[in-house]
Each structure stands twice: as structure tokens, then as C-alpha cells.
């Protein structure tokens, strides 16, 4: 079928998104599609996807059920804050994150059509998300990971690596599972991406993201950025921020080729915040320090980290190996090799009570009875020693 016919058939088949009677879904769906160079005669200026007009960009965002609310660009890429999360457009890469009940995968045929018009050959595709807070409210084609993988394989399964789907995390903690799909034609250029998902935000920290709240809210996005501490996470970032009524917050940060983004759903009972940094030089940031600065903005009860590394795993892998975050228990560590020499490292954490040690510990020499090292520093506890696992390849419903 022609791309426009496919768009209509997918949308018609899966219909409108159901409304959640419970709360807003904070967990984002993230899609990254990368292309190779166009022939010189087809793109003499090398603009690639950045040559797309606003109308063309809107044409695929409409299919995903989201709109642009703000924009910030530099010489390397264009960033857009969306009504539901963010969009980043590089010359050879597009990254879309959408939350709520958006239909992100429905945007794929239009993106591929626009890239083909620019003579950009498809190189790779990566899709990732956590476990939805309200999975029953998700519309097709996002009702299950297997459904998503089926759609992704229809577009990207023909790449040289074939489609590869992974479910990472502890099966006994289904709310902390990480879902990844990846397909590629050849090894990618060096790049590190950090995805961080946080739930159970501290009530005082969450209050900052309510407009004109008597409990410490702010009157503008700029004030939220400053008061929350977001502006200090990577101070070099130029920030484009946006606040929602009556609550909620989004921002994109740009610095050279590097991008960051934050999205906050502050409502009690389903509070959520996400942080992402990509295309940065890992030598310029200390991993643990970066994580701690993000955590200080939100103080979540639980959080996860997913670090994807392409183009050489040496220093980047050691950079992301240990978070060692005080006041949190490292519950799970999974490493998964990706086709083309990529690596994905996933970690999940839960808060521990101040001054607490392992409940099974009967030793006083700094080691618990199950082999976990605990280090008590004043009111904070650090717990290490979770055994690393390799993700099982497959598809879960």
C-alpha cells in the first residue's frame, strides 16, 4: 500500500484513543529513526531532515496525536516541546517522545515517506518505553509490547539485523520492566543516550510544578526551571521550557549536538518525571553526579536508568557502570548487547529509609548476609552488589 493509504488504514483500524478514568499516563514512548547520507546531488547543503517544513513535521505529529507548543534550535538540530513530550530533528535522525495515550507508531509511515522524498536511506530504528502506569488506557497499536513489535517489524524488520525485541528487568517487578526494540542496517556512529524514569515524586518537589499553588507552586515555566533545580543539572544547556494548566511541565535543553529533555506529571497517586540526555560527550559529565542532580529535583520513591551506547563501549561503558546513589537500593542490573556493536545497560532503584540497612543483615562489618555491601553515611544508606544479568530476548504481551 502507498504510505498515505497505510496511514489511513492503520488509523481507521485502531480508532480513537480511550480516555483514562484514572489519571494521566506519564511514561513516554520513545522512537528514534536514523538515516544515512543522501546523494550529494540530492542534498548539496547536507540539511537532511532539517529541510522539512513545519507543515511536513505537523503531518506526522498529527498522526501521533500531538502538537508543537514551543521550539528551540541551534546549528546542529531543532528541538520542539510537544503537547505530549518532545521532538528532536537532526539532519539524519528524528527522535520523538510522546506520553499519555498518543499513538506514536502511527507516525512511522509518514516519517519514512518524507525521508524518501529527501533521498535519505533508512539506517536504523530504536523504540523504548517503561511499563505503563495505566496500560489498559493505551490505544492500539500500544496495547501490548507484542503489538508494538509487530508494527515495528512491519517497517524495520527488513533491515540487515532483523527486528530485535527485548524485555529487561525482574519479572517479579512487572512495573519496572524496560521494553526495547532495535533494528539496524549497519553499525551506528558513536552516541550515548541516558533515559531516566522516576515515580512517586516527593510532594514538596512535585508542588513546584502546579501553577499558582498555595503549596509552593510557581507562576511560570521559567520559575519552575529555576526553583526546582532543573537549570543546574547541566548548566551549559540552553533551555526551552513550558508549563501546562493546571499543572505539569516540559523542557528541552540544547548545547552543541547534545540534547536533554524533562517531562513532569506531578499529580499525587500517579506522579512521574522523566529525564533524558543524548548525543553528549560522556567524558564531560560524571555519571553519578548527573543522576544525583536529577534526583535532587524530584526525590522519587523509585527510578530506573537505561543507558544506550553506540560506537565503542570502552570508556562509555565504564562511565555508566555504577550509579552508587545514596538513599536508594539498586534492585536490578541488566546488560544487553545490541546488533551492530551497541550496548544497553538498565538499572532500577527504590528508596530506602534513612539509616536503614539490609533487613537480612546480621553483620556489622559493612557487608550484609546476602553479599550486599552497605555503607552508612550519616542519614544516608548506599547499597551495592546486585548481580548483573543479561536480558532475555523475546516479546511479552
Q: Give the active site residues.
A: 85, 99, 250, 263
Q: What are phi and psi of 267, to 5 degrees?
A: -65, 135
How many CB atoms are closer than 10 A to CB 39? 10
Inter-residue contact 297 to 233 (CB < 8 Å)? yes
Please indicate if the annotation marks 113 as binding a ligand.
no
Inter-residue contact 372 to 384 (CB < 8 Å)? yes
Burial of 275: CB neighbours in 10 Å, binned 0-12, 13-18, 19+: buried
CA distance readout (Å), 143 to 37, 147, 173, 273, 361: 35, 7, 19, 22, 42
Inter-residue contact 191 to 311 (CB < 8 Å)? yes
Q: What are phi and psi of 374, to 5 degrees?
A: -120, 135
Residues near 172 by beta carbon (within 8 Å), at least 6 away in sequence: none
Please indicate if the annotation marks 28 as binding a ligand.
no
Q: What is the rounded CA–CA span in Å between residue 255 and residue 7?
A: 35
Inter-residue contact 156 to 149 (CB < 8 Å)? no
Inter-residue contact 307 to 344 (CB < 8 Å)? yes
Bridge partner residues of 305 (DSSP): 196, 347
Please indicate if the annotation marks 24 as binding a ligand.
yes
Annotated binding site: 24, 84, 244, 267
Annotated binding site for substrate: 24, 84, 244, 267
Amino acid at each position: 500500500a502507498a504510505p498515505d493509504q497505510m496511514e489511513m488504514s492503520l488509523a481507521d483500524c485502531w480508532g480513537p484513543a480511550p480516555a483514562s478514568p484514572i489519571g494521566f499516563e506519564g511514561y513516554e514512548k520513545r522512537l528514534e529513526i536514523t538515516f544515512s547520507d543522501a546523494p550529494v546531488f540530492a542534498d548539496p547543503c547536507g540539511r537532511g531532515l532539517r529541510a522539512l517544513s513545519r507543515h511536513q513535521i505537523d503531518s506526522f505529529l498529527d498522526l501521533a496525536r500531538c502538537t508543537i507548543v514551543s521550539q528551540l534550535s541551534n546549528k546542529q538540530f531543532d528541538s520542539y516541546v510537544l503537547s505530549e513530550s518532545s521532538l528532536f530533528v537532526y539532519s539524519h535522525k528524528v527522535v520523538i517522545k510522546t506520553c499519555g495515550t498518543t499513538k506514536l507508531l502511527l507516525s512511522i509511515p509518514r516519517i519514512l515517506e518524507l525521508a524518501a522524498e529527501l533521498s535519505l536511506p533508512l539506517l536504523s530504528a530504536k523504540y523504548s518505553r517503561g511499563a505503563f502506569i495505566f496500560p489498559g488506557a493505551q490505544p492500539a497499536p500500544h496495547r501490548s509490547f507484542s503489538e508494538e513489535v509487530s508494527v515495528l517489524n512491519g517497517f524495520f524488520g527488513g533491515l540487515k539485523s532483523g527486528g530485535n525485541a527485548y524485555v529487561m528487568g525482574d519479572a517479579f517487578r512487572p512495573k519496572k520492566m524496560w521494553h526495547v526494540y532495535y533494528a539496524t542496517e549497519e553499525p551506528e556512529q558513536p552516541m550515548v543516550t541516558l533515559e531516566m524514569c522516576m515515580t512517586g515524586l516527593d510532594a514538596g518537589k512535585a508542588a513546584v510544578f502546579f501553577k499558582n499553588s498555595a503549596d509552593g507552586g510557581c507562576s511560570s515555566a521559567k520559575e519552575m526551571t529555576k526553583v526546582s533545580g532543573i537549570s543546574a543539572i547541566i548548566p551549559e544547556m540552553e533551555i526551552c521550557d513550558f508549563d501546562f494548566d493546571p499543572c505539569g511541565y516540559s523542557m528541552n535543553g540544547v548545547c552543541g549536538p547534545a540534547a536533554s529533555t524533562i517531562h513532569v506529571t506531578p499529580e499525587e497517586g500517579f506522579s512521574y518525571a522523566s529525564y533524558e540526555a543524548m548525543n553528549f560527550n560522556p567524558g564531560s559529565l560524571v555519571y553519578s553526579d548527573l543522576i544525583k542532580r536529577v534526583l535532587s529535583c524530584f526525590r522519587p520513591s523509585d527510578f530506573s536508568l537505561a543507558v544506550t551506547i553506540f560506537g565503542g563501549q570502552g570508556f562509555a561503558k565504564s562511565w555508566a557502570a555504577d550509579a552508587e546513589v545514596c538513599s536508594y537500593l539498586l534492585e536490578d542490573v541488566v546488560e544487553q548487547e545490541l546488533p551492530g556493536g551497541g550496548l544497553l545497560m538498565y538499572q532500577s532503584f527504590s528508596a530506602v529509609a534513612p539509616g536503614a540497612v539490609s533487613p537480612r543483615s546480621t553483620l556489622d562489618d559493612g557487608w550484609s548476609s546476602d553479599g550486599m555491601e552497605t555503607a552508612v553515611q550519616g542519614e544516608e544508606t548506599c547499597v551495592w552488589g546486585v548481580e548483573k544479568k543479561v536480558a532475555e530476548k523475546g516479546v511479552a504481551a
